Amino acid sequence: MDAHSNEGRPPPHPRGATSGGGRRQVAWAVIASAVAGLSTYYSSLTRPPVSLKSLPASYALCAEGHRIYTVDDSKPVVDCILVDKHSVTATGTLNEVQLAWDEYQNELIRTFYGNEPTAKKPLPVYNVPAGSIVVPGLYGFKMQLRLDEAKSLSDVLDLLENHVRDNPPGPDTWIEAMGWDQTRWSDTDGSFPTAADLASRPSLTSLPIALHRVDVHALWLSPRALSLTKEHLNGSFPSAIPGGEIVRDPTTGEPTGIFVDAAMNLVPIPKWSAWQMRDYAERTVKDALSVGLTSIHDAATSLEEFELFREMDDDNQLPIRVYAMADSDRLSPDDKNDIEIHDPSPAAHVRMRSVKLFTDGALGSWGAALLAPYSDKPDARGIMRLPEDDLQKLVGEWWHKGWGVNVHAIGDRANKAVLDAFENVSDDKDEVAARRPRIEHAQIMRVEDLKRSGELGVLTSVQPTHATSDMWYAETRLGPDRIKGAYAYQTLLKSSRNGVLPLGSDFPVEGIDPLLGFYAAVARLNTEGKSPHGENGWFPSERLTRAQALKGMTLDAAYASFSEDVLGSLSPGKRADFVILDRNIMDESQPFSEILETKVKATVVDGKVAYGGI
């Protein structure tokens, strides 16, 4: 979830969004592990298979052969976990968890039943299917209309025409979608599309269409949408927009149909109704659970969205955990004065203790703020949505109110500015580190800033699929020197004070499936197994190991949301959030392609099955 101007509805947000309401980046609050079972037994008694949805309050889950990956250094792999109500109470072999259960039962009997042995309850034991593994729960809006699947401009127009045919719009209905990326199109030169392109198909000519670029930092409008926007602006477009740009025809000076960053706020796309927001959020929750997400870091939450999450939680309709970051761009002056931290407990399903700020745009739309001109566009250095002085002031204001401060930064100028702001907010580096400030994306950094982020204790929250999405044009944009400090995940991890690198999906900017991020982190290949550097991956020295990637998607994500004591690993005393996967993605001997074939068998939150079965 990231920045957006349309209050009252949850449309896509720019990168840095983790995630939420159905579309967040999820900074990867993947915090849990999976359970399931084909059979249950106690001692010599064999019981018939049962549905996971009928799991009792207490049970053991086993994956013999050390196939439960706990992300707990004391016991990184185990055969079984013991779940009592909503928490993991023991891990180890079946004998060890059985012993822990017996001791627990004996204590209960001594305390409440006067040592009556018949009060002792048997322990149900469930086995995951052969080949499956259990891992802690993972973190993570894709629109119904998926433009990211288009490989050409013609494909985009085909998708739109098919959508309009199957879903005839009303006279005032705007058509919204996201995911287009002109750098991937085979029938263009990589430059931005225009309103005229949308008008080239008769069925689209008269419709107001607004299409968000894949990074949600550029909006592509149809002629009708342009006309409505001009009317909304009292008949004329502004010549300049602080923090944004209206792309214009170099000959006529007229808008081409592309609005970048802050200029997108000018477009009068109708707000969503409360019903639409609720329906969208509920569908998103279902999608998230189906891919193993148990927690979401929503990296730009409006007050309306936050209240929706709380309403769903009160109605027991929010099975996942939402760590919300207040969207600074969508807060009125009064909101900024009145808003309060909401953090009832680290295990609560709705929390908001951080704010999200935005410094620049994205690389694909030439909006990432760079210290030197773009290599492929020498007249451009990107867009600073928050100039350095304004950024320093805002960081200080929120910091001194006690809020966590998380800042979107893509380009090297933006990242430098954010680190400068955090360095200046306090002379005590230990205090800064304890507050866990975050840079969302940390995508292009000076080599010295890679190290500085770790020294300051600033968390660099990254999304591995950004590397594999951008790798086909990133070096052309940045040149051979700057690329050395870009998408440098292994370097960032090694530079971190505490060895923490939170990994997220950044949906809807990228796909919601966290395993796509896991694959990108360890392989640095696209889903076809290719990269500009061949089958060994793009800059393979920056690949993460499978263990590092899993930790980034679970325990590190929990650390980034101040919940590592209760979430993020399958450790005694922590919440029983887990996922069962149908194959072993942690086996280093298996080809990377196996990761992409992996299916979620079950997602468990607080010890209860929230998705799937066996």
Domain end among 210, 243, 266: 266
Distance CA 232, CA 254 (A): 17
Residues 106, 175, single domain; the answer is no
Of the candidate ranges 9-13, 169-173, 246-250, the one whose mean pLDDT is the lowest? 9-13
Each residue of 551-578: pLDDT tens digit? 999 999 999 999 999 999 999 999 999 9
568 token code pair: 């993020």
Instruction: Provide the pLDDT for residue 118.
Output: 63
Tell me which residue of 389, 331, 385, 384 sits closest to 355, measured CA to CA.
331
Look at residue 4 and tell me whether its pLDDT is greater than 90.
no
98 token code pair: 């059985």
Residues 151, 122, single domain; the answer is no
Which residue type, as a one-letter code, is found at position 297?
H
Of the candidate ranges 108-122, 189-203, 467-481, the one whose mean pLDDT is the lowest? 108-122
What are the backbone dihedrals phi and psi of residue 248, each rounded to the nearest 5 degrees, phi first?
-120, 155
Q: Average pLDDT for residues 277-290, to the nearest whole number?
A: 88
pLDDT band (50, 70, 90) for residue 475 = very high
Q: What is the pTM of this model?
A: 0.82
Look at residue 298 and tell me whether its pLDDT is greater than 70.
yes
Instruction: Provide the pLDDT for residue 107.
Output: 87
Q: Is 284 domain-assigned?
A: no
Measured in residues, the chain has a length of 614
Q: Is 111 domain-assigned?
A: yes
pLDDT band (50, 70, 90) for residue 340 = very high
Instruction: Provide the pLDDT for residue 165.
Output: 86
Instruction: Provide the pLDDT for residue 508.
Output: 54
Q: Percent of the chain beyond pLDDT 70? A: 88
Q: Is 51 domain-assigned?
A: yes
Residues 102, 178, single domain; the answer is no
Instruction: Provide the pLDDT for residue 14.
Output: 40
Residues 177, 250, single domain; the answer is yes
Each residue of 136-166: pLDDT tens digit? 998 753 334 557 778 899 999 998 998 888 8
211 token code pair: 């299409």
Taking a C-beta distance cutoff of 8 angstroms, is the pair 415, 449 a contact?
Answer: yes
Number of domains forming the structure of the chain: 2
What are the backbone dihedrals phi and psi of residue 416, each rounded to the nearest 5 degrees, phi first?
-60, -45
Q: Is 195 domain-assigned?
A: yes
Look at residue 282 and tell me whether its pLDDT is greater than 80.
yes
Comparison of pLDDT for 321 and 50, the residue scoring more: 321
Instruction: Provide the pLDDT for residue 54.
Output: 64
Q: 244 forms bridges with which residues in the sheet?
A: 241, 261
Which residue type, as a one-letter code, is found at position 148?
D
- What's 253's domain CATH number? 3.10.310.70
Sequence-separated (6 or more) residues with CB below 8 Å from residue 348: 321
Domain end among 220, 249, 266: 266
Instruction: Provide the pLDDT for residue 53.
Output: 62
Residues 80, 172, single domain; the answer is no
Taking a C-beta distance cutoff of 8 angstroms, is the pair 97, 63 a contact?
Answer: no
Look at residue 398 and tell me whether its pLDDT is greater than 70.
yes
Instruction: Provide the pLDDT for residue 139.
Output: 78
Residues 215, 120, single domain; the answer is no
Q: Is 486 domain-assigned?
A: no
Taking a C-beta distance cutoff of 8 angstroms, is the pair 535, 511 a contact?
Answer: no
Comparison of pLDDT for 177 and 142, the residue scoring more: 177
Distance CA 298, CA 132 (A): 30
pLDDT band (50, 70, 90) for residue 607 = very high
Domain end among 247, 266, 285: 266
Look at residue 51 and tell me whether its pLDDT is greater than 70.
no
Of the candidate ranges 96-105, 139-148, 225-234, 393-402, the one whose mean pLDDT is the lowest? 139-148
Q: Average pLDDT for residues 31-40, to the nearest whole number?
A: 28
Segments forming the whole domain that contains residue 186 = 147-266
Q: Is 157 domain-assigned?
A: yes
- What's 109's domain CATH number? 2.30.40
Distance CA 377, CA 366 (A): 8
Q: Average pLDDT for residues 465-489, to the nearest whole number?
A: 95
Q: Chain-wide mean pLDDT for the chain?
A: 87
Residues 93, 167, single domain; the answer is no
Q: Average pLDDT for residues 291-317, to the nearest whole number?
A: 93
Instruction: Provide the pLDDT for residue 223.
Output: 95
543 token code pair: 């690949």
DSSP, collapsed to helix, strand or coil, labels residue 198 as helix
DSSP assignment letter at 121: P
Instruction: Provide the pLDDT for residue 115.
Output: 65
Q: Average pLDDT for residues 73-80, to the nearest whole number?
A: 97
Residues 90, 175, single domain; the answer is no
Q: Is 53 domain-assigned?
A: yes
Comparison of pLDDT for 143 and 449, the residue scoring more: 449
Residues 245, 213, single domain; the answer is yes
Residues 155, 123, single domain; the answer is no
Q: Average pLDDT for residues 334-338, to the nearest whole number?
A: 94
Residues 105, 172, single domain; the answer is no
Residues 151, 119, single domain; the answer is no
Instruction: Provide the pLDDT for residue 52.
Output: 54
**What is the number of other CB atoms lying within 10 angstroms of the CB of residue 344?**
9
78 token code pair: 């185990």
Instruction: Provide the pLDDT for residue 40.
Output: 30
What are the backbone dihedrals phi and psi of residue 605, each rounded to the nearest 5 degrees, phi first?
-125, 130
Distance CA 414, CA 382 (A): 10
Instruction: Provide the pLDDT for residue 238.
Output: 94
Look at residue 28 and tell me whether its pLDDT is greater than 70.
no
Sheet holding 438-441, edge to edge: 138-139, 293-301, 321-327, 350-358, 404-409, 438-441, 459-461
Distance CA 393, CA 412 (A): 20
Q: Is 73 domain-assigned?
A: yes
